[in-house]
Structure 1
Amino acid sequence: MIRIPVAFSLALFPALALADPPPAPHPPNGKQLVVISFDGAHDNALWEKSLAMARRTGAHFTYFLSCTFLMTKADGKQTYRPPGQKQGRSNVGFAQTREEIAIRAGHIWQAHLEGHDIGSHACGHFDGKDWSKADWEREFSAFREALAGAWEMAGRPEDEPEGWAGFARQGIKGFRAPYLSVSDGLMPALEAFGFDYDASLVTKGPGWPSFADGLPRFGLPLIPEGPSHRPVIGMDYNLFVRHSMGVENKRDSARFEERTLAAFRDAFRREYEGDRIPLQLGFHFVEMNGGAYWRALDRFLSETCSTRDVACVSYAEALPLIEDARKKADRSAF
């Protein structure tokens, strides 16, 4: 039976308020954007697998990293205290060894060099629905310190790449809240820490980012799925719960893969042949139901990213394209 971290198995985001997609600007450069992201970014084998998938398909990803995977449990007891929690707590655990940290840091740097977007998923994967601005800032500070000190924590400071310090302090520009759960304190804290975008919303369908709160805010969409075409959040965990009630079922893995691929294809086709609203899909560094959702993703990207007028991009790459389209749409209104 698969071990799903408690952070992924607590709920199907029942309290989320669904946002209406903002009005659409003209398609950026006429392209259909496909934006794939991964939450957690911990399992080193899945770092290797996702980077290989990206090279094979030509896609760029956003990796939302949980920072407790850059420290051991012993380190966490000394250095990390999440808001409202005891010292050294984490809902998703810690790195098991210093060697594991070194390998993970190497993958993060490799992904950065290959054009992927490294974002923040905070640290210990706690629900921030009641957090103040100061609470979020405390968590962001912990993330920044953990990333900056990763090679030291790994016991390999001599292996720290040139440019790592600047990347750790200034290169993390995107955020997704654990559980997609936010509070009124989040946006002011994101702006104070210099983030460029938030990706913590859920929308009733594929949508352009909202610019109403200062920073651009992206939302994972509801997409039709299965024989009855019931909407589900376009994320592997939600499909896992839909398909097997959140209980690992390898026997039906191939069937779940086909259902997922069909849902991805239909959601893509609707936008590609329509208004070309960006399609966002989210995943975790856990292969649920025997890897059904990662296999579906690989097949989807293999057939989609090479399609004419399609760009499989990270959030960081999508944002300037969308902002440019928005400005063009504003100018054309006059």
Structure 2
Amino acid sequence: MAATKKTPTSGLAARRNAVRRYALDAVRAVAARRAAARGASGSVRRPIASGTSAGGPDSRGVAPRGAALRGRPAGAVTVAAGVALALAAGLAGCTGSDEDTEGAAGPKRVKAPKSVLRLIGDGSTAFTGAQPGLKKPQRLKPGEKPPQFVVFSWDGAGEDSQKLFSHFRKVGKRYGATMTYFLSGVYLLPEEKATRYVPPGHAPGRSDIGFNDTEGIRATVRELRGAWQEGNEIGTHFNGHFCGPESGVGTWSVEDWKSEISQAKSFVKNWKTNSGLSTEKPLPFDYDRELIGARTPCLEGRDNFVRAASQLGWRYDTSGVNDQVWPGKDEGLWDLSLQMIPVPGRSFETLSMDYNFLVNQSGTTKGAPSMHQYWGNQFRDGMLQAFERAYNGNRAPLIIGNHFESWNGGTYMRAIEETIARVCVRSEVRCVSFRQLADWLDAQDPAVLAKLRTLKVGEAPKDGWPAFLAARPVTAASPALPAGPPARRQAG
């Protein structure tokens, strides 16, 4: 059932007009730190541009300061000055189904025992046993080539009348892909209960992406339930999505982040009480166990968030900017950040996310219809080029972020679907969630991962994978010495 739109801020569909931003300062700060670290180690690093003329991207494909969206519809949330990249909140979609799916089709997928059910709290969530559809990660054998991992992830996941969430669940099952859905907690909080959200640095009930309505919550919970049962991960995109220098997430302390995380969990664990949908099925997971990673709004506030997440025992973060190289850890968390990937036909790269391509193409969510197909093809081909240079090179996991949106006629959703269809069926390719990737990384020999991290973007081992990851030679034993007289035991 579609989410209704009672007021300009009710229902997920209304949030298509709310503009969210990926800040240039955050992108540059992370990139600068990485560049400085590499410079200290003597590696070569292309320079980071300081910006170009107004309206154009810099040499890394990042929109310059002041490149806000043009042509926004009435009712759009105005972004703060000085923020470079923007993200529209809302949801858009294709076709979908109201059916719950108990498990993805395909070989070697195991359903959780239906007899295992333990309700948690008010029954909004439940422990139902091991998540179906997941395989136990295996350690690489000596000389074995790593699989090519690809992670497709969705910020602010939820379901509205256009049903993109349900559509991409079907896409994932069709091509054997599991994904990560980053849920915004306020999507499970009805507008009339808005004051139950007390955001750090803001008045109770404040949210830059609004709240939901009853039918929107019902639809979103249905998709979350089915997605988890199919082996997908349910992460978090937190709550109010505050960006910029005025009490945005970049100003938050470690304790502020812990408060935000606690509230995001609370909205998931109490959606029945808050919405009144007491007869609906529970979410089939314990969110305290399920929640192990996130992407911060606007890629801001990462440093303190990572500290908070580390103290809470989380396992990964995907809020930074990386190249296509094997990941390491930061504060004990796997750094599975977005990556710089090619923009076909252009001289720069940009972040591996739909909106970053949009910024460098139309600069608006409603660009010229005559260009829609070209822009979508450019995004698709950029992802495919990034895939090929990893697949035929260092085999570093490819990280891609997206939004359930119909920007520029839905061309980016088409591009994502076509990319999934092409790469997830390839041999030695695993399209997985961040949780599954973290599980695999944790199962590996740290020395092997360290060696993988020596490979640069697109660099394949010079002498092939068997030689590169061969077992270390066993040191030859020293020749045995002639036996001497037995040693005398000393007194005392």
Which of 118, 122, 139 is equivalent to 2:260? Answer: 139
In structure 2, the residue matched to 1:124 is 240
* CA distance 1:313–1:147, shift in 2 (3 Å): same
In structure 1, the residue matched to 2:293 is 174
Secondary structure of the structure 1 residue equivalent to 2:319:
strand
Correspondence 1:46-195 to 2 at 5 A:
46-77=164-195, 79-95=196-212, 97-127=213-243, 128-161=249-282, 163-164=284-285, 167-195=286-314
Letter in 2 for 1:89: R
Task: Give how far 1:333 is off.
Answer: 6.9
Secondary structure of the structure 2 residue equivalent to 1:123:
coil
Task: Give how far 1:152 is off.
Answer: 2.4
Letter in 2 for 1:108: L
Task: Give how far 1:263 is off.
Answer: 0.7
In structure 1, the residue matched to 2:135 is none
Which of 419, 423, 430 is equivalent to 1:304? Answer: 423
Spell out, residue by residue over 1:262-316, the C-alpha distance to the aligned partner (whole angstroms, 9 max, x if none): 1111111101001101111110121211111111111111111111110111101
- Greater RCO (Cα-Cα under 8 Å, separation 6 or more): 1
Spell out, residue by residue over 1:152-192, the C-alpha distance to the aligned partner (whole angstroms, 9 max, x if none): 2232223232744xx22321111110111125422231123
In structure 2, the residue matched to 1:31 is 147
* CA distance 1:37–1:13, shift in 2 (3 Å): farther
CA contact (8 A) 1:131 1:183 kept: no
Task: Give how far 1:328 is off.
Answer: 5.2
* CA distance 1:257–1:218, shift in 2 (3 Å): same
Distance 2:347 2:354 in 1: 16
Distance 1:194 1:6 in 2: 32
Task: Give how far 1:13 is off.
Answer: 3.5
In structure 1, the residue matched to 2:363 is 245
Letter in 2 for 1:304: V
2:278 aligned with 1:267 = no
Which stretch of the first structure deviates more once superposed, 295-304 or 245-254? Answer: 245-254
Task: Give how far 1:129 is off.
Answer: 1.2
CA contact (8 A) 1:236 1:293 kept: yes
Letter in 1 for 2:364: G
CA contact (8 A) 2:324 2:340 kept: yes
Distance 1:176 1:213 in 2: 16
CA contact (8 A) 1:28 1:322 kept: no
Distance 2:419 2:296 in 1: 26
* CA distance 1:53–1:159, shift in 2 (3 Å): same
CA contact (8 A) 1:122 1:177 kept: yes
Distance 2:237 2:472 in 1: 37
Task: Give how far 1:118 is off.
Answer: 0.6
* CA distance 1:123–1:326, shift in 2 (3 Å): farther
In structure 2, the residue matched to 1:235 is 353
- TM-score (normalizing by structure 1): 0.90
Q: How many residues align?
A: 326
CA contact (8 A) 1:41 1:64 kept: yes
Task: Give how far 1:325 is off.
Answer: 3.4
Q: Point out the structure with max Rg over C-alpha.
A: 2
* CA distance 1:189–1:7, shift in 2 (3 Å): farther
Distance 2:420 2:397 in 1: 14
CA contact (8 A) 1:151 1:157 kept: yes
Secondary structure of the structure 1 residue equivalent to 2:370:
coil
Secondary structure of the structure 1 residue equivalent to 2:342:
strand
Task: Give how far 1:239 is off.
Answer: 0.8
Distance 2:275 2:218 in 1: 5
Task: Give how far 1:12 is off.
Answer: 5.2
Give unmatched runs, 5+ long, in structure 2.
1-13, 42-138, 244-248, 452-470, 474-492
RMSD: 2.6
CA contact (8 A) 2:190 2:275 kept: no
CA contact (8 A) 1:99 1:154 kept: no
CA contact (8 A) 2:321 2:338 kept: yes
Distance 1:302 1:268 in 2: 13
Between the aligned residues of both structures, percent identity stands at 29
Distance 1:151 1:98 in 2: 10
Letter in 2 for 1:55: K
